[in-house]
Amino acid sequence: MCPHLTSDLAGVLRAEIVEGRIAPGDRLPSESTLISRHGVSRTVVRQAVARLQERVEPSITVWPKPPEIPTSPTPCRIWGRP
């Protein structure tokens, strides 16, 4: 892993916060979104968010993603039966 990738991504996220593209109380983009948007690994994303949280913006809180609740039940298939 290249340490500059972590610093670069932390800088990009900080700039988005400072410029108001991510407002106070807003969620950061998901790990998957950041991975695809910036072409980095999950490790880089997690370290960049941690760096941002520790060194730059201590008010950033990382919350686990809430579980997805299905809006309608999906039929279950019993093994061997449709």
Residue 29's nearest CA partner among 62, 69, 67 is: 62
Return the pLDDT at 18: 83
What DSSP designation does 67 have?
P
What is the model's pLDDT at position 53? Answer: 80
Structure confidence by residue, pLDDT tens digits, 8-64: 999 999 888 888 888 877 888 888 899 999 999 999 999 998 888 877 555 666 555
Residue 70 has pLDDT above 80, yes or no: no
Which SS3 state, helix, strand or coil, does residue 7 take?
helix
**Which CATH topology does 3-56 take?**
Arc Repressor Mutant, subunit A (1.10.10)
Q: Are residues 40 and 5 in contact, defined by beta-carbon separation less than 8 angstroms? A: yes
Angle at 47 between CA 46 and CA 50, to 5 degrees: 90
71 close to 36: Cβ distance less than 8 angstroms: no
Task: State the amino acid at position 78 in one-letter form.
Answer: I
